Amino acid sequence: MSPRFLTLTDVTEVLNISMSQARVLVRSGELEAIQIGGRGMWRIEAAKLEEYIARCYEQNRGRTAHTDG
C-alpha cells in the first residue's frame, strides 16, 4: 500500500524538480499541503499531487491547442 502522505523530498523526486521549486509550489498554494508537527514539516497527500499533475496536463493541453494550427 502506498503512503497517504508524501514529503517535499518525495515530491521533488516524482516531479524531478528542485527542493526550492517544490517549496514555491506549496507556499503559493499551487500544490496543496499541510504542515505537521512542531517544526512545521510539509506533507502532501498523494491524491493532491496526482490532482496537481492532472491540472498541469490540462493547462498544457490548452496551450498546445492554441498553438497547433
pLDDT at 23: 96
Q: Per residue of the chain (69 residues), what is the pLDDT tens digit? A: 888 999 999 999 999 999 999 999 999 999 999 999 988 899 999 999 999 999 999 999 887 766 655
- What separation in angstroms does the CA of 41 have from each of 50, 61, 65? 20, 33, 39
pLDDT at 67: 60
Amino acid at 42: W
- What separation in angstroms does the CA of 48 have from each of 16, 40, 65? 17, 19, 26
pLDDT at 63: 78
Q: Classify 30 as helix, strand or coil.
A: coil
pLDDT at 69: 53
